[in-house]
Chains A and B, each alone.
Chain A
Amino acid sequence: MDQRVVDFIHALRAKGVRISLAESIDAMRCVEIAGVADKQFFRSALRASLVKEPRDLPTFDELFPRFFSLDTPPPLQQPGSGMSPEEREQLAQMLQQMLASLSPEQLRRLFEMMMTGQGMSGSQMRQFIDENTTATQMTTGFQPWATRRALRELQFDRLEQLLQELLQKLREAGVSEAALRQLEQEARENREALAQQIGKEVGNGLQQREAEERRRRPAEDLQDRPFEELKYQDDDDMRAIINRLAAQLRTRVALRQKRANKGILDAKSTIRANLRYSGVPLDIRHRRKHLKPRITVICDVSGSMRAVTGFMLMLVYALQDQISRTRPFVYYRTIADVQSDFQQLRPEDAIRVVPDRVQGGPWQTSLGSCLETFTRDHLDAVDRRTTVIFLGDGDDHMSPPNPRAFETIKRRAHRVVWFNPEPPYRWAREDNHMHIYGPMCDAVHHVSNLRQLVAAVDGLFS
């Protein structure tokens, strides 16, 4: 049983559930207490000790029955229970004849198992499947499909035909019809049991393979890869990276705030702290200058910018506890306030829908007019505590540069920062107005990979 639990934990890990060693020890202790008699209890015990994220619950629910369900394949039975000894002798002979001439080998083994009732153990069956089929080498872990494929490769459907042949021969040899019918019934039951066993072993094989692959996959550092190469496909990996980066940033910010004890004198706290020195101010306390920034992000969601925008928004939302207010905007040909999306959905889901909030297509970026709209409709998102972050390449294919609107935003904001994923030498090309907006910003950062993005975001908190 312990081995089964360990296997189950491996399978969960393979599916991306984070389970530490300490937690697996806890699970074992819980299982000891819970016992295996009450299945519901057993299940809740494992769940409480292993699954710590609501989003991992479906994975648990999916895998649990595969490992601990009671419906093990029924054992095979020996066919021919309703026959007389002579008839059984005949059956054995006929079967020997048929088996001798039967090919291929794997079909012969299957037919033999079906007709004699002498099956294989789980591990033997696994080996048999691995040797004779490609089902467990499939790249997709979809069990029913793999099982069908295994059955096809074993020519499982020919068993019925062989059974009928055998029955025919026995009938010609004069075996009674009732005995034959019973034989047929028993053989069919055996066949079903075999099919179930094969399905189960194929499933186990797939899981094991998946677990191994997971372990083999190198933990490469994606930080220095350019954004274009980072596919936004493996959500879990990406979320893990972003969370790690966010945690690093948070620690850095906290340390910096602790060391920088500068701020105005906090009279109340100083008096209190120095009561123990009978009021002699030995220990001077300062009011912590812990002003959380307000951030307004204005992101380009044109095709080339979508990846970096996604990462930026993920990072900003992973750092929500360090920011007092975030107002996200996206622009293409038009500009839109997407705060409500982020309030209603989880950040990773919101990022997927926000590009649809604005109009635009290739070569239709219209930064100048978007700035105009922003200063007209959304200036309330900018006040003297707000850091405005522009995230974009500065391209503008449809409208003239709009330094006047930019100046309006800058005058109201605490700081204006520009994050640009393109290298500086491209900022002055045609249709790119970076050379106009750039000098007006308080800072311009070139962000082409995660490391640079994190460094730039770090700068916001100093």
Chain B
Amino acid sequence: MFTTIGDVTAALSAQRYIPSDEIATTVFLAEKLGKPILAEGPAGVGKTELAKVWAAATGRDLIRLQCYEGLDETKALYEWEYAKQLLYTQLLRDKLNDLLAGVTTLAEAADRLAAEEDVFFSSRFMLPRPLLKAITSERPVTLLIDEIDRADAEFEAFLLEVLSDFQVSVPELGTIRARHQPMVLLTSNNTRELSEALKRRCLYLHVDYPTAEQELQIVNLKVPGLPPKLAQQAVELVQRLRGMDLKKHPSVSETIDWARALLELNARHLDRATIEKTLNVLLKFEGDLQRARRAMVRDEGDRARRERDEFGRPRRDDESGRFRGN
């Protein structure tokens, strides 16, 4: 599908996703080796988005399994549709009577019923969950297993089986093998250590916050109407906030939300009032907000002092009165 890394970068970019070299390399290797990717990193840096654009870029369907505490096989793999089975039994009662007509012994009746048993335990009555869907799909798929760190350790162990052979066994039906080997992306927010067995089977991708340059590209791509200068300032501010000691650093998705908010508010430049009004899009904790505000006030004080010359007259500076990233 891809012959060089450049192809990967181009295909992902065509889906409006800007991959770093590392992301492109890992995706390329995963395609070549058929191995799952384990993407770790802070929340909101585009791990889930990567799965979506990967699927779109390769023309595969995306199947998503969201993990949570208590997730088990019946939610992830398959379940029998008992209600439907019962309903069918009721509706087919006459048919069953016909079938059993003329039977003299119990054993004979049981034999005849047993011959029909397969009808009730067939894929007709099976409710496929994401994992089985991914395996039985007619079309090639990309399987996204989101936030695997939230699932229990037992589920992780079960997942290993599926990921290593891409087959599952259903007792009533036998073993189901994948028609197309799905491409798998697991994401984790690093809330707990994943087992080594799982890590061993995956290619590891550490997705971190993007550099200022990349983030500016992302903002320009996702929020095209934003004036370039404003975008530049916004990204600088976000990058600076990430350098501060905050409880939760603003993620890329929050930068995009903020840029959209600035666009909606028709902001021309980042003055203090605009920042005050919209900072809560970036920072979600009261303590963080206050800390950021204090830092900004301190900055302005510093700059005001710098902008006055030794006689107390303002120095000429075309950006005075605005907040700058650095």
Q: Specify whether A and B are partners.
A: yes
Determine which of A33, A44, A54 lies in contact with B22 in the assembled complex, contact meaning CB atoms within 8 Å.
A44
The residue in chain B whose Cβ has the minimal distance to the Cβ of A29 is B33
Chain A, 365-401, CB within 8 A of any chain B CB = none
B33/A44 in contact, CB under 8 A: no
B302 at the interface (CB under 8 A from A): no
Chain B, 1-53, CB within 8 A of any chain A CB = 5, 21-22, 25-26, 28-29, 32-33, 35, 38, 40
| Nearest CB of B to A304, in Å | 31
7 closest residue pairs by CB, A with B? A275-B82, A44-B25, A52-B199, A52-B204, A48-B203, A48-B26, A33-B32
24 contacts between A and B (CB under 8 A): A20-B196, A20-B200, A26-B33, A29-B33, A30-B33, A33-B33, A34-B29, A38-B5, A40-B21, A41-B5, A41-B25, A44-B25, A44-B26, A47-B22, A47-B204, A48-B25, A48-B29, A48-B203, A52-B196, A275-B82, A275-B83, A275-B86, A276-B82, A278-B89
A321/B153 in contact, CB under 8 A: yes
B112 at the interface (CB under 8 A from A): no
B236 contact set on A, CB distance < 8 A: none
A282 at the interface (CB under 8 A from B): no
Chain A, 266-305, CB within 8 A of any chain B CB = 272, 275-276, 278
B192/A45 in contact, CB under 8 A: no
- If A20-B200, A276-B82 are given as contacts, then 7 extra A-B residue pairs at C-beta distance below 8 Å, sorted by A number, are A22-B200, A48-B29, A48-B205, A52-B38, A54-B190, A275-B83, A321-B153
A-B contact count (CB 8 A): 71
Q: How does the 8 Å CB contact mask read for A27-67 relative to B, with 1 for contact and 0 for none? A: 00110011000101100110111011110010000000000
B29/A33 in contact, CB under 8 A: yes
B152 at the interface (CB under 8 A from A): yes
A414 at the interface (CB under 8 A from B): no
| Nearest CB of B to A286, in Å | 16
B85 at the interface (CB under 8 A from A): yes
A30/B29 in contact, CB under 8 A: yes
B22 contact set on A, CB distance < 8 A: 44, 47-48
| Nearest CB of B to A41, in Å | 6
The residue in chain A whose Cβ has the minimal distance to the Cβ of B194 is A52
A26 contact set on B, CB distance < 8 A: 33, 35, 203
B180 at the interface (CB under 8 A from A): no
The residue in chain A whose Cβ has the minimal distance to the Cβ of B150 is A321
B199 contact set on A, CB distance < 8 A: 52-53
A18 at the interface (CB under 8 A from B): yes
A44/B86 in contact, CB under 8 A: no
B5 contact set on A, CB distance < 8 A: 38, 41
Chain A, 234-258, CB within 8 A of any chain B CB = 243, 250, 254
- Residues of A that sit less than 8 Å from B by CB: 18, 20, 22-23, 26, 29-30, 33-34, 38, 40-41, 44-45, 47-49, 51-54, 57, 243, 250, 254, 272, 275-276, 278, 320-321, 344
A49/B203 in contact, CB under 8 A: yes
Determine which of A29, A34, A52, A254 lies in contact with B154 in the assembled complex, contact meaning CB atoms within 8 Å.
A254
Q: Give the docked Cα–Cα distance between A22 and B86 (Å).
A: 48
The residue in chain A whose Cβ has the minimal distance to the Cβ of B38 is A52
A254 contact set on B, CB distance < 8 A: 153-154
B193 at the interface (CB under 8 A from A): yes
B284 at the interface (CB under 8 A from A): no
A44/B35 in contact, CB under 8 A: no
Q: Give the docked Cα–Cα distance between A26 and B204 (Å).
A: 12
Q: Give the docked Cα–Cα distance between A52 and B35 (Å).
A: 14
The residue in chain B whose Cβ has the minimal distance to the Cβ of A246 is B193
B78 at the interface (CB under 8 A from A): no
B201 contact set on A, CB distance < 8 A: 22
B196/A18 in contact, CB under 8 A: yes
Determine which of B28, B83, B204 lies in contact with A51 in the assembled complex, contact meaning CB atoms within 8 Å.
B204
B206 at the interface (CB under 8 A from A): yes
- Residues of B that sit less than 8 Å from A by CB: 5, 21-22, 25-26, 28-29, 32-33, 35, 38, 40, 80, 82-83, 85-86, 89, 152-154, 190, 192-193, 196, 199-206, 247
A243 contact set on B, CB distance < 8 A: 193
A54/B206 in contact, CB under 8 A: yes
B33 contact set on A, CB distance < 8 A: 26, 29-30, 33
Determine which of A22, A45, A53 lies in contact with B25 in the assembled complex, contact meaning CB atoms within 8 Å.
A45
A250 contact set on B, CB distance < 8 A: 153
The residue in chain A whose Cβ has the minimal distance to the Cβ of B5 is A41
Q: Give the docked Cα–Cα distance between A34 and B30 (Å).
A: 12
Q: Give the docked Cα–Cα distance between A20 and B154 (Å).
A: 22
| Nearest CB of B to A272, in Å | 7
Q: Give the docked Cα–Cα distance between A344 and B249 (Å).
A: 13
B29/A49 in contact, CB under 8 A: yes
Q: Give the docked Cα–Cα distance between A278 and B90 (Å).
A: 11
| Nearest CB of B to A125, in Å | 35
Instruction: State whether A320 and B26 are in contact (beta carbons under 8 Å apart), knowing that A275-B82, A278-B86 are contacts in the complex.
Output: no
The residue in chain B whose Cβ has the minimal distance to the Cβ of A276 is B82
| Nearest CB of B to A22, in Å | 6
| Nearest CB of A to B86, in Å | 6
| Nearest CB of A to B125, in Å | 10
Q: Give the docked Cα–Cα distance between A33 and B26 (Å).
A: 12
A321/B32 in contact, CB under 8 A: no
A344 contact set on B, CB distance < 8 A: 247
B152/A57 in contact, CB under 8 A: no
A33 contact set on B, CB distance < 8 A: 28-29, 32-33
A40 contact set on B, CB distance < 8 A: 21
Q: Give the docked Cα–Cα distance between A47 and B5 (Å).
A: 16
B21/A44 in contact, CB under 8 A: yes
| Nearest CB of B to A270, in Å | 13
| Nearest CB of B to A319, in Å | 10
A53 contact set on B, CB distance < 8 A: 199
Q: Give the docked Cα–Cα distance between A22 and B164 (Å).
A: 12
| Nearest CB of B to A455, in Å | 21
The residue in chain A whose Cβ has the minimal distance to the Cβ of B32 is A33
Q: Give the docked Cα–Cα distance between A140 and B143 (Å).
A: 47
| Nearest CB of B to A28, in Å | 11
B83 contact set on A, CB distance < 8 A: 275
The residue in chain A whose Cβ has the minimal distance to the Cβ of B20 is A44
Q: Give the docked Cα–Cα distance between A45 and B22 (Å).
A: 8
Instruction: State whether A23 and B200 are in contact (beta carbons under 8 Å apart), knowing that A57-B206, A272-B82, A275-B83 are contacts in the complex.
Output: yes
Q: Give the docked Cα–Cα distance between A29 and B247 (Å).
A: 41
A18 contact set on B, CB distance < 8 A: 196
Q: Give the docked Cα–Cα distance between A33 and B33 (Å).
A: 9
Q: Give the docked Cα–Cα distance between A22 and B160 (Å).
A: 14
B153 contact set on A, CB distance < 8 A: 250, 254, 321
A321/B152 in contact, CB under 8 A: yes
Q: Give the docked Cα–Cα distance between A171 and B34 (Å).
A: 70
Instruction: State whether A48 and B192 are in contact (beta carbons under 8 Å apart), knowing that A278-B86, A321-B152 are contacts in the complex.
Output: no
B21 contact set on A, CB distance < 8 A: 40, 44
Q: Give the docked Cα–Cα distance between A34 and B5 (Å).
A: 9
Q: Give the docked Cα–Cα distance between A321 and B26 (Å).
A: 30
B29 contact set on A, CB distance < 8 A: 30, 33-34, 45, 48-49
The residue in chain B whose Cβ has the minimal distance to the Cβ of A54 is B206
